[in-house]
Amino acid sequence: MTTPSPSDRIDIDIEINGRRRTVAVNARDTLADHLRNDQNLNGTKLGCEHGVCGACTVLLDGAAVRSCLTLAAQGDGRTVRTVEDLSRGSSLSPLQEAFKKHHALQCGFCTAGFLMSATELLDSNPAPTRADVVEALSGNLCRCTGYQTIIDAVLDAAGQIGNDNG
Ligand code: FES
Ligand code: FES
């Protein structure tokens, strides 16, 4: 098999937010670029674009990944979940409701990334301690909130508010 050049187009079979599709992507495109530019899923944000801020976090086969460091072509045969998949119509998910209740966002630029990292945590650990939440969110940066309201929101969504025993 020959190595594709950056300008090559590659057909991939990818499931995004429950819908499988076959699409042609540029070999050089990141998953974030594909989601935002080709799929019109702009909830995923690009901040640093080099793996530091976590704003671009999505779930790839259930695992939180930096979509700025993941090639779209790596999505072939995989399942992607973005922040757009959390709500149902106009109904926010319990996690999103908890962010709203705890004022866990200000400018909102980081929020999709935090929500997806928290979703990965709650999928694998439905009753996390505060320490679990802090660790799970440690790869996401927020310049507005000071983090405590975000941590409280995740604990509340898990029914663990006040659990400081971690
Ligand atoms: Fe991907 Fe910052 S935009 S980690
Ligand atoms: Fe502004 Fe987090 S709410 S960066």
Count structural domains, the chain.
Answer: 2
In this structure, the answer to whether residues 21 and 80 fall within a common structural domain is yes
- Quick: pLDDT tens for 5-24: 877 999 999 999 999 999 99
Report the b/e string of 122-137 with b at 16+ CB within 10 A.
beeeeebbbebbeebb
- Quick: pLDDT tens for 101-148: 999 999 999 999 999 999 999 999 999 999 999 999 999 999 999 999
CA distances (Å), 46 to each of 42, 50, 109, in order? 9, 9, 9
Which ligand gives the minimal distance to the CA of 109?
2
Pocket test for ligand 1, best of 34, 44, 56 (most atoms within 8 A of CB): 56
In whole angstroms, what is the distance from residue 100 CA to residue 121 CA? Answer: 19
Give the domain CATH number at 120.
1.10.150.120
In this structure, the answer to whether residues 73 and 106 fall within a common structural domain is no
In this structure, the answer to whether residues 100 and 69 fall within a common structural domain is no
In whole angstroms, what is the distance from residue 37 CA to residue 91 CA? Answer: 25
112 CB near ligand 2 (under 6 Å): no
**Would residue 4 count as lying in a domain?**
no
Domain termination site, one of 68, 85, 102: 85
How far, in Å, is the centroid of ligand 2 from the Cα of 53?
11
pTM for this prediction: 0.94
Q: List the residue whose alpha carbon is closest to atom 1 of ligand 2.
A: 107
State the residue range of the domain holding 26.
9-85
**Would residue 1 count as lying in a domain?**
no
